[in-house]
Amino acid sequence: MSTADAPLPAAPSLPGPAPRILVISAPYYRQVVDGMLAAAQAIFAEVAAELTVVEVGGAYELPQALAIAAASVQDFDGYVALGCVVRGETDHYEFICAAAMDGLMRVATREALCLGTALLTVDTLAQALARSHETGSNKGAEAAVACLKQIALKRSLA
């Protein structure tokens, strides 16, 4: 069986109540991001997570939205950031990818957030689509699993 035909990963065991999750989506490449979102939703359904999904303009806005969410009065157990940046003919790709990923990590570590990240940084749209299929190596599913594992870790250390 190829990785494109493999089933999505299973949600990890999660002690305690169903988690509250905020998914921040940058759907510039709607087909790609929607595929990752659907896979993440399937993982979160396994643990009966309460999901809130918000959209932002693009990958550059993902860390800003995460910071806004962390400072809000709403209490989420975990966060998932979804987006895609496809390399173009200018340096724009390098700047956006670095700023978005660095910003997400900076906010997550500063605020001790349980964050799963699926910001695809690819050379072609075909590469992005291959990472957002319903089955196989879906990076949205992987980000959801990563988020749940961080929540489990946080709960075990509380």
pLDDT digits (tens, 9 = 90+) for 62-89: 999 999 999 998 899 999 999 999 997 7
Closest CA to 36 of 103, 114, 122: 122
Q: Mean pLDDT of all residues in the chain?
A: 92
**Top-level class of domain 20-157:** alpha beta
Give the side-chain half-sphere CA count within 13 A for 8: 28
Query: Which of the 8 DSSP states describes residue 123?
Result: S
**Domain residue ranges in the chain:** 20-157
pLDDT digits (tens, 9 = 90+) for 18-44: 999 999 999 999 999 999 999 999 999
- Return the active site residues: 92
